[in-house]
Amino acid sequence: MLDLTDLHYFVTVAREGGITRAAEKLHRVQSNVTTRIKKLEAQLGCDLFLREGRRLILSAEGHRLLPEAEGLLAEAGRIEAAMVASEPGGMFRLGAMESTAAVRLPPVLERLGMAHPAIELELVTGNPAQLTARVLEGGLDAAFAAEPPVDARLDSVAAFDETVALVTLQDRLEPGTPLLVLERGCPHRARLEAWSAQAGWQPGRVIELGSYHAMFGCVLAGMGVALVPESVIQTFPEAARLVRHALPDSVQGLQTRLYWRRDGMSANTRALLAVMAG
């Protein structure tokens, strides 16, 4: 495989027209530059220069290599600049719970896009365990999640304070009423199951649904009870028909946080934090 340093030396010699001037440009001794050129010629199996005294002239093979070498060096420079860039831009892989993505994020992401148009956003939804696992694996730059597993490799900041409500169609919470929940791993589901056990209320079977709108529809059909963020309830056109039941503060208060790897905060994540703080 070609060495980028060898190509850099070759391009410099070609541009400067000789070893002496190239060595001065590179701040290297002439013998070092000569060794690099001979090494490259041996690797390619051809002479890259015609030698006329102390002056070097590109051979036919040298002329063929020069634009290719310049292109490789330019691309390597671009890649290096992109990897160490302090300015936000490029792909930003962001995760969020469904409720956060639907209600909380639109105004935040709009401000982020206006402040940093070079960012290309990719939004992924999931439950807290899934999202934080993808952050740790490097599949996401950051993620909004509630009550994720504690992991010392993660860093976080408070993002949104949520209030959740237990909603039904009837005023009375009857024993044996089915629980309407999202997939396993949803923090609202875990709280509802824990609260029902502590309160001594015996729910019926668990019905898993794919979205909050499906959950609201089932509640209005009298199929069960659901624990839903107030911010999501407010977006439901028929929210007035839902009956809210009082819950202790330990159950109804829920904080969503933004998580990222402690050893790898990206420029895009910093930009998001700045937008949230502003």
148 secondary structure, DSSP code: P
Please provide the CATH number assigned to the domain covering 162-254.
3.40.190.10
For the stretch 14-57, pLDDT in tens is: 888 888 888 888 888 999 999 999 999 999 999 999 987 777 88
Place of tokens 């993505």: 101
Q: How would DSSP label each residue in 83-124?
A: HH--S--EEEEEEE-HHIIIIIHHHHHHHHHHH-TTEEEEEE
- Select the CATH number that applies to the domain covering 4-84 from these four: 3.40.50.1480, 1.10.10.10, 1.20.58.410, 1.10.1670.10: 1.10.10.10
Per-10-residue mean pLDDT, the chain, length 278: 90 88 88 92 92 83 92 83 73 92 93 94 90 92 83 92 88 85 73 79 85 89 89 90 84 89 90 92
Q: What contacts 162, CB < 8 A, 6 or more positions away?
A: 99, 146, 229, 230, 231, 253, 254, 255, 256
CATH 3.40.190.10 residue ranges of the chain are 93-161+257-277, 162-254
**Average per-residue pLDDT for the chain:** 87
Looking at domain 93-161+257-277, does it have CATH number 3.40.190.10? Answer: yes
Note the pTM of the prediction, 2 decimals: 0.66
